[in-house]
Amino acid sequence: MTLASPTIRPVASASERTPVLQIRNLSVDYGYDDNAVHALQNVSLTLHAGEVLGLAGESGSGKSTLAYAATRLLPPPGVITGGEVLFTSSRDGHGGDLLRMSDAQLRAQRWRDTAIVFQGAMNSLNPVYTIGKQLIDGITAHSPRGQKEAAKRRAMELLDMVGIPKDRLSSYPHQLSGGMRQRVMIAMALALEPEVVIMDEPTTALDVVMQRQIVEQIMSLKNELGFSVIFITHDVSLLLELADRIAIMYGGNIVEDASAREVYREPRHPYTAGLLHSFPPLHGPRRELRGIPGSPPDLMHLPTGCNFHPRCPFAFDACTTIDPVLGPTRFEAEEPHRSVACLLHDPAAAPGPVPVELGVRPPGVSPLS
């Protein structure tokens, strides 16, 4: 899906932003021995109340692993090797570290606080139960006994909310189209009015018309119910349109974290710049589609230093030895909320000023001397 031009949402000022989900130094391995693949390395990410946080990157960059790890749904042989995931309710302040909760606590927390919409709309519903049964069992698992009727009413309400006739409650998943199934999954995720909804490529399996409808529905429901969203996709153009903030992932790390407008207009990381040059803008001057030469890193054999340096047009000697950490940009004074993981932004290591492509200044700000 390609967008017209990004709808710019005002970025809430730091003072009114309350974090609901804080992921800190999360590391995930696939495999148990020395040959384990390091799928995530010290990833930190914060989701604020009411925010839409986009998580973008190529296949294998760790986007979905991050979502599964943060909710402790990682299938074996995935192992969380470190970090914490703090949930803090913006309603009553309850919460805690998801990675250290007991199974019972975790089960009570799931769906009520954080719900997930998975990418496979086709396979996310149990084929042998009606969708009504599947909507209701999620609700009753979190409510006192004997609330069956209330749960059923709620299930009808939910279907209505996503625009599916109520009598579809007794349909089996195979009797619904792909788009309807994904709507059912969204309705299911919103059943308990969670504060955080993680959407793992919710539109990938759908055609573009349906993608548009689903995305619009998610956004209007979000405005109505006020939940926060982590939206995972490889479709950067989609994120530019709907996300408040975008985190770009590469090879198991977050390489840039900034508002959607900033990512679009003023990318600071060479990889982000490369991504933006990989799809055509509909408006504005024509520009050459360059793509990014090379292929994503083999997580079994990560390059030394910066993961991106073999494909980076701006790489210099230090990139092969020093692994950059997510930190402030060279323009920290004007954009303190942004962060980037690139040695070009480290005054101590960079050989010179930031290259022009990565140093675009917002309009009205004088270029850095």
Partner 1 sequence: MKFLLRRVGFYLFTAWAAITLNFFIPRMLPGDPVQSLINKYQGRLSTDAINSLRVLFGLNTHTSLWQDYLSYWGNLFHGDFGISFTYFPTPVADVIAQSLPWTLMLVGISTIVGFVLGTLAGVGLGWRRGTWMDGLLPVANFFSAIPYFWLGLIAIAIFGVAIPLFPASGGYDGGLEPSFSWDFIGSALYHAALPALTIVISSVAGWILSMRNMMVTVSSEDYVTVAQAKGLPERRVMFGYAARNAVLPSISGFALSLGFIVGGTLVTEMVFSYPGIGYVLFQAIGSKDYPLMQGVFLIITLSVLVANMAADFVYAFLDPRTRQEG
Close Cβ partners of 67 (under 8 Å, ≥ 6 residues apart): 55, 116, 198, 200, 230, 232
Taking the C-alpha atoms of residue 266 and residue 57, their distance in angstroms, rounded to an integer, is 18
Within 229-328, residue ranges assigned H as helices are 236-242, 260-265, 270-276
Query: Cβ contacts of residue 321 below 8 Å, gap of 6+?
Result: 304, 305
Closer CB to partner 1, residue 61 or residue 71? 71
Please count the other Cβ atoms lying within 10 Å of the Cβ belonging to residue 188. Answer: 24
- Rounded CA-CA distance 44/341 in Å is 12
- CB 192, min distance to partner 1, A: 9
Is omega for the bond preceding 194 within 30 degrees of 0, making it cis? Answer: no
The smaller minimum CB distance to partner 1, of residues 12 and 141, is found at 141
**Run of H or E including 247:** strand 245-250
Which is nearer to partner 1, 99 or 125 (by Cβ)?
A: 125
**Least distance in angstroms from the C-beta of 112 to partner 1:** 7
| Closest distance of CB 126 from partner 1, Å | 4
CB 198 → partner 1: shortest distance, Å?
9
**What is the rounded distance in angstroms from the CA atom of residue 211 to the CA atom of residue 138?**
26
Sign of the Cα pseudo-torsion (162, 167, 173, 176, in order):
negative
Contacts with partner 1 by CB under 8 A lie at 71, 73, 75-76, 103, 106-112, 115-116, 118, 120, 123-129, 137-138, 141-142, 172, 174, 185, 188
CB of 100 to partner 1, least distance (A): 17
**Of 52, 30, 113, which Cα lies nearest the Cα of 243?**
52
Alpha carbon distance 355, 360 (integer Å): 9
- Shorter beta-carbon distance to partner 1: residue 121 or 341: 121
Residue 135: its H or E element: helix 131-140
Residue nearer to partner 1 on the CB measure, 120 or 310: 120
Cβ-based nearer residue to partner 1, 127 or 352 = 127
Identity of the residue, 125 or 292, whose beta carbon is nearer to partner 1 in the bound complex: 125
Shorter beta-carbon distance to partner 1: residue 18 or 143: 143
- CA angle, residues 66, 68, 74, in degrees to nearest 5: 120
